Structure 1
Amino acid sequence: MTARTFTAEDYAARMRRAAEAAAASGLAGLLITPGPDLAYFTGYRPPADTERLTMLVIAQDRDPVLVVPRLERPDAEHAEGASAIGFADWTDNEDPYSLAVRLMGTRGRFGVADNAWAMHLLGLMDAAPQTSYAALSRAMPMLRAVKDADELERIAAAGAAADATYRKILKAPFAGRKERDVAADLADLLRAHGHEQVDFTIVASGPNGANPHHEAGDRVIAEGDAVVLDFGGLKDGYGSDTTRTVHVGGEVAEEVQRVHDLVREAQQTAFEAVRPGVACQDIDRAARKVIADGGYGEWFIHRTGHGIGLTTHEPPYMVEGERNALVPGMCFSIEPGVYLPGRFGVRIEDIVTVTEDGGHRYNDTPHELAFVA
């Protein structure tokens, strides 16, 4: 099924909500540069992220305006949300920061996209020294966190495509092949199941499994290896991200099975903790307690989860200190793991959304240790 195209009114509604939330947070406005935030608010993805300033100015007391280089304005005017914004263009012999400040105002604190170039932020500070700035992920971490029905539909479809990829890869040969070859199979399968972008295909075999972000390489996968498979990307613009740990051959070392069972219990316990009003950090605590009680707490070396949407990693994060409460429509990963240096690793990951009375998984492949040839 083809996802519904977002309309100009969809984008306008997002900008209105953001302007209201910014004002409620004490911000004079939001400054959105090329990246996922600009795509979220306008549908515009510039042909290149260059030194030329492109910036959407959102504030409650004025219409949203996109500052854009004149040579790129035709592309911007073809974005899905173009009719919901105004345009202020500039040429290479003009100062874009003075133009931006005329739209922003010369005073106040602004939320700025995390991936804004430092040179652009410094240019704004020079043009308006009485302004100040805060990273959006800190000032408004919930900005894109709660998904609407169309976004949830896309995330569900991306998760189903990742599940189909996993089912197919279980039928592929592992023993005697290099990690990079299995990773290439995963990428091909994600694309075959509708992903327009593959962000990562981690294939971490044997001792490489103890590195959570191992880059698939030339190690030859051997009989008896535990192999961590973590893969994802974008389908219809929204993310998938799933991890399963498989075993090459049917004879499993006792500790590999024990650790896998412990991680599976931690993942399930964290999922059962999901419900509206619970703090993000409590999901991390739920998973971490199981692994600590099982004797492997020092080897769980990352947060339990991260948000997902237009990017495969985004706020909010399921980590100690993150006190924002879960809200229906939030989507995030639950991915506890144990990593034993020089030996093996285990991770199990699903994408979850918060419902009115609990949580719902967007991945339905079994969590049990799967066996591959």
Structure 2
Amino acid sequence: MQSFAEKLESIQDALRKQSLDGWLLYDFRRSNPLACKLLGLDEGILLSRRFFYWIPVQGEPLKLVHRVEAHHLDHLPGKKHAYSSWRELETQLALALQGKGRVAMEYSPRNAIPTVSRVDAGTLEVIRSFGVEVCSSADLLQRESIWTAEQLETHYYAARVLDSAVAGAWEFIGARLAAAEAVSEYEVQQFIISRFQEAGCVWAGDPIVAVNAHAADPHYTPSENRFAQIQKGDWVLIDLWCKRKEPRAVYADITRVGVADSKPTERQQEIFGIVKAARDAGARLVQERFEADEPVMGWEVDQAVRDVIDEAGYGEYFVHRTGHSIDTNDHGDGANIDNLETQDRRCILPGTCFSIEPGIYLPGEFGVRLEYDVFVHPDGRV
């Protein structure tokens, strides 16, 4: 795993390319998980006081830590200043930022990208009082979502686990129905979880198994006390995600649909076909842009997908963004495929992964979501 000291040179190079004077990372009680992740602060460490870590575009970083927790950033390069009072802290911040112009922080203008907007308004007021312009660190953070070759292998492993688990789930449902035995959404969910456990994987949030009208609720999840039975002829949506239980492993995330019968109805086939065409349109745009060595932003991919569903007359039933970044978290820190909930104007970078998962949700009837993961290789292959 690359140490932060090894990352520092590439971060400072990125600062130069973006005409930034530095990057000011801040946290209070883990209010900024992006900074904690970047700086390698384990979840078990108590962070009860404010800290700042200043990365200048050139030169040595600066650590501003409270004397109660003065050791927390000792694993990072740079000079350390400890403070006790708010006056000491502001004095040290003023000295660090003196003469600086543009400073990156975990801030998003007008909260355009909520996942990046982690620094509170009061702290921004303090930093701006020193005469600097606070800029968004969104493009800097996205670099953290670039996978290594080793991480790509963990993704392939997780994807194989998902494929096996969902195939087993269909067989589990079919066998129960063939034997005239009851089978519920919750039982299928627990079957999938058992496959994850056998494969040495972890997951955040339990898999979605949704039958008929439940499938029209994008994030419906069965539980021990809330579930429906699956019967012959029912429509079933299964959304599942996991990663290998090891440091720096990345997720895989897929959604599949099927019917507990010999064939779907014409209505089900129609909706499935529209969603599949939309999904393929998004992947095609990404592939075409990288083949032409042209940039492509997250919002553009969303719009290409959304146009297909709009033109088919079902736009009002596609109620969420097209996809999300994937890294060590299932919903990662890179560009999202979104021109609905937000307009993500970040470019998709080589070495990153994201989902494409359009859906049409017909209340009271059923829903179709088709999700696969798209990885852009460092050489631009999609």
TM-score, scaled to structure 1: 0.77
**Which residue number corresponds to residue 270 of structure 1?**
282
Q: CA deviation at 1:151?
A: 3.4
* C-alpha distance in 2 between matches for 1:18 and 1:308: 21
Deviation per residue, 1:215-250 (Å, 9 max, x gap): 334131332332222222443332222111132343
Q: Which amino acid aligns with 1:274?
A: V
Match of 1:250 among 241, 253, 262: 262
Task: Name the structure with the higher strand share.
Answer: 1
Matched, 1:207 2:208: no
Alpha-carbon offset, residue 100 of structure 1: 6.0
Aligned mate of 2:353, from 317, 328, 331: 331
- In the TM superposition, residue 353 of structure 1 has moved relative to its aligned partner by 1.0
Q: Cα offset for 1:343? A: 0.9
| Letter in structure 2 aligned against 1:20 | D
In 2, Cα distance between the equivalents of 1:89 and 1:249?
Answer: 68
Task: Note if contact 1:307-1:332 (Cα within 8 Å) is conserved in structure 2.
Answer: yes
Aligned to 2:336: 317
SS at match of 2:304: helix
Q: How many residues align?
A: 344
Alignment of 1:41-190 (within 5 A): 41-47=38-44, 50-68=47-65, 82=75, 85-86=77-78, 88=80, 90=82, 97-98=89-90, 101=93, 104-106=96-98, 107-113=100-106, 114=116, 116=118, 118=120, 122-123=122-123, 125-126=125-126, 129-130=129-130, 131-137=132-138, 140=140, 142-173=142-173, 176-190=182-196
Partner of 2:323 in structure 1? Answer: 305
Take 2:183 and 2:91, find their aligned partners in 1: how far apart are those partners?
57
Q: Which amino acid aligns with 1:230?
A: D
Q: CA offsets, 1:89-108, max 9 Å, x none?
A: 74766768437616742454
Aligned residue number for residue 17 of structure 2: 24
Are the structure 2 counterparts of residues 188 and 300 from structure 1 closer, same or farther at C-alpha, using a change threshold of 3 Å? same
- After the TM superposition, which of the residue ranges 260-269 and 183-192 deviates more from structure 2? 183-192
| 164-173 vs 304-313, greater mean Cα deviation | 164-173
* Aligned alpha-carbon RMSD (Å): 3.3
CA 1:197–1:101 in 2, change beyond 3 Å: closer, same or farther? farther
What is the percent sequence identity of the aligned residues?
24
Q: Which has the larger radius of gyration?
A: 2
Equivalent residue letter for 1:41: L
Structure 1 pair 288–98 and aligned structure 2 pair: CA distance change class (3 A): same
| Partner Cα separation in structure 1 for residue 305 and residue 56 of structure 2 | 40
Q: Is the 8 A contact 1:12 1:41 kept in 2?
A: no
Question: Hey, what does 2:235 align to over in structure 1?
Answer: 226
CA contact (8 A) 1:190 1:198 kept: no
Partner of 2:2: 7
2:314 aligned residue (296, 301, 318): 296
TM-score by length of 2: 0.75
Using the alignment, how far apart are the partners of 1:228 and 1:351 within structure 2?
A: 17
How many Å apart are 1:54 and its aligned residue? Answer: 3.9
Report the alpha carbon displacement of residue 339 of structure 1 after superposing the two structures with TM.
Answer: 0.8
SS of residue in 2 equivalent to 1:274? helix
SS for the counterpart of 2:134 is strand
**How far apart are 1:345 and its partner, in Å?**
0.5
Deviates more, 1:317-326 or 1:208-217: 317-326
Q: 1:95 to 1:252 in 2, by over 3 A?
A: farther
Tell me, yes or no, if the aligned pair for 1:36 and 1:311 is still in contact at 8 Å.
Answer: no
